[in-house]
Amino acid sequence: MFQENEFSFLKESLEKCGLNVTVVSPYDTIFDVVDERDISFFEKIFSSNTTLDNMFGGMKPNTLYKFKDPFSLLYNAFLIPHSTGRKVVVIGPFLQERLTETHILELCQKNKIEPKYQKNINEFCSVLPILSTYSPIYVFLDSFCERMWGRKYAVSDIVSDASFANTSITESSGRELDKIFSETKAMERRYAFENEILDAVAMGSESKLNKLFAVFNESFFERRVADPVRNAKNYGIIMNTLLRKAAERGGVHPVQLDKISSEFALKIELFTSVEQGNELMTEMFKAYCRLVREKASSYSPLVKSVVTAIDSDLSAELSLSALASELNVSSVYLSTVFKKETGKTLTEYINEKRISYAKHLLRTTSLQIQTVSLHCGIMDVHYFSKLFKQKTGMTPSAFRAEAINLQ
């Protein structure tokens, strides 16, 4: 007999933890599970005629399904026993860990999602609930399944590719809390995080920093010695140096950098706990970011608007005529003012930003060169390669190969 009271308690508890719980037919689609505001995202990775029964490989009784979709989103599902017309409970979507910007870029390429959707996808993924592999919620769900089916119920782990043609399915005892999906290596996560932090600081983008802070914790401190506080101090020293370089790339004068770097070097040696280290790292990120913003604050409102537009989305239409039209000024006037205040033509400034971002993507992702070109706002990959070589002395492929060898 289905435990209706227990299910009501389960549903209410999971929803209070931020998880979506939906009761639908196995012949409904994922679009009947997710919020209607997010359907445009799911349309990019799911066929409109793919039912939940198809997704889970034909749903069986007494089975808890754990499903990973083509975009690394997770779901749990099970058939309600003895229900009229067959009903399925779907919990999700959620994430096992917060996706980095690099990971999202690579998933977009895999699922053939265009760069213009990048911002919306970042925002969508940033608010999904996180349910780690060993979360107590799984114990809670396991207990509920035992209540329904006894200890011998099955667990089906399914990982789907973009086409739903190949799925890998394994079964295990419901009492086992095995890892559902392989975890990203700590070193890869740290390096990706560091590169995103440095890019945000170089652009003076505190909004991007705030998103990154959501995933910053002591796991980013490289464990080289047994003492966790010493590890945190070592990592702080390294990041202080890297942030100084990033702020210099953002245009801050060495005199200002030397002062702030010396101040943080002293603070790093004085903290006495990992928690204090976390707080100091956050303070340090923001301080260097603020320096870059203050450097740009000497610009007129007109030039500030242009710089903000460029930093916000390099894949947007950033021609002189388009920006001038948007800001209701003549192209000649905008060109003159921009060169006077920045010392660079608009084209030179944009190309520098594009090449800088291209280097970041080539170092930190496996995106195809053509995809990198698109994210940098250059539609012609041959022109992109020519420009990249002109500015760096290397082709994009050669730059990536060298970056890999240096790791």
Distance CA 89, CA 172 (A): 20
Identify the bridge partners of residue 76 per DSSP, sorted by sequence position. 66, 91
Which 3 state secondary structure label does DSSP give 71? coil
pLDDT at 164: 44
Looking at the chain, the number of H-run helices and the number of E-run strands are: 18, 6
Per-residue pLDDT reduced to its tens digit, 41-86: 787 777 778 888 888 878 888 888 888 888 888 899 888 887 666 8
Highest mean pLDDT among 132-136, 300-304, 331-335: 331-335
- At position 315, the amino acid (one-letter code) is S
| Helix H or strand E encompassing 94 | strand 88-94
Does residue 333 have a pLDDT over 90? Answer: yes
pLDDT at 383: 93
Per-residue pLDDT reduced to its tens digit, 234-264: 888 888 888 888 888 877 767 678 878 888 8
pLDDT at 398: 92
Per-residue pLDDT reduced to its tens digit, 145-202: 888 887 778 888 888 765 443 334 344 444 333 332 333 344 555 666 677 778 878 8
Long-range contacts of 168-175 (CB under 8 A, 24+ apart): 169/57, 174/64, 174/142, 174/145, 174/146, 174/149, 175/142, 175/151
Per-residue pLDDT reduced to its tens digit, 283-312: 888 888 888 877 655 678 888 888 878 877
pLDDT at 393: 92
0.85 exceeded by pTM: no
